[in-house]
C-alpha cells in the first residue's frame, strides 16, 4: 500500500493488512473506512472515562492528600493494556479488527489519565511537596512500566501453560 495510513491505522493494525484502514477499505476509500475505528475509539473512550470518573467519586483523594486513586487507575490501566496487547497482538492470535481501537485506545485510553496525573504533580508542587511530587511522578512511570510488563507476562505464561509449552 502506498501513501500514508490514516491516523487510526496503528490502532487498528498495520496499514498493509486488510481491515478498517487496509486495502480492503473498499471503493469509498480510506477515510470512510476510518469511521468504524473512530466510533470504536469514541465509545470506548467514553466508557473508560466514565469508569475513571466513577473510581474518583468512589475513592476521592482527601484535600491535601496523595492522589492514590489516579495512581491506581494508571497502574491498573497499564496492566490491562499489557494483558490486551499480549492477548490480541502476539503469537499469531487473531482478534476482531476493532478490539484494539475499542479496548486499548478507547476504554483503557479513557480510563488512564496523563492529564490528571500531570495536574496532580503540579498540585503537589504548588503545595510545596516537591519530594512527594517527584516520588509520585517517578513512581507512576515505574509502576506503569512494571504493570505493562507484568500484565503481558501473566498472559504469556497462562497461554504457554494452556498450550502445554514448557517455560
- pLDDT value at 47 more than 60: yes
Q: What angle do CA 145, 86, 162 make, to 5 degrees?
A: 125
Span 49-64, average pLDDT: 94
Secondary structure, 3-state, 97-166 = CCHHHHHHHHHHHHHCCHHHHHHHHHHHHHCCCHHHHHHHHHHHHHHHHHHHHHHHHHHHHHHHHHHCCC
How does pLDDT run across 88-117, given as a tens digit for each residue?
877 667 888 999 999 999 999 999 999 999
* Domain ranges (residues) in the chain: 17-163
Amino acid at each position: 500500500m502506498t501513501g500514508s495510513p490514516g491516523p487510526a491505522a496503528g490502532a487498528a493494525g498495520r496499514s498493509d493488512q486488510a481491515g478498517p484502514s487496509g486495502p480492503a477499505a473498499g471503493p469509498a476509500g480510506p477515510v470512510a473506512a476510518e469511521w468504524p475505528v473512530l466510533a470504536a475509539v469514541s465509545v470506548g473512550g467514553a466508557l473508560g472515562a466514565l469508569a475513571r470518573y466513577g473510581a474518583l467519586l468512589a475513592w476521592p483523594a482527601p484535600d491535601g492528600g496523595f492522589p492514590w486513586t489516579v495512581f491506581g487507575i494508571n497502574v491498573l490501566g497499564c496492566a490491562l493494556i499489557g494483558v490486551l496487547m499480549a492477548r490480541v497482538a502476539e503469537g499469531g492470535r487473531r482478534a476482531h479488527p476493532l478490539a484494539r481501537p475499542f479496548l486499548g485506545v478507547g476504554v483503557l485510553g479513557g480510563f488512564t489519565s496523563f492529564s490528571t496525573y500531570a495536574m496532580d504533580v503540579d498540585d503537589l508542587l504548588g503545595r510545596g511537596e516537591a519530594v512527594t511530587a517527584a516520588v509520585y511522578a517517578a513512581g507512576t512511570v515505574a509502576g506503569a512500566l512494571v504493570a505493562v510488563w507484568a500484565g503481558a507476562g501473566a498472559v504469556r505464561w497462562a497461554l504457554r501453560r494452556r498450550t502445554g509449552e514448557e517455560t
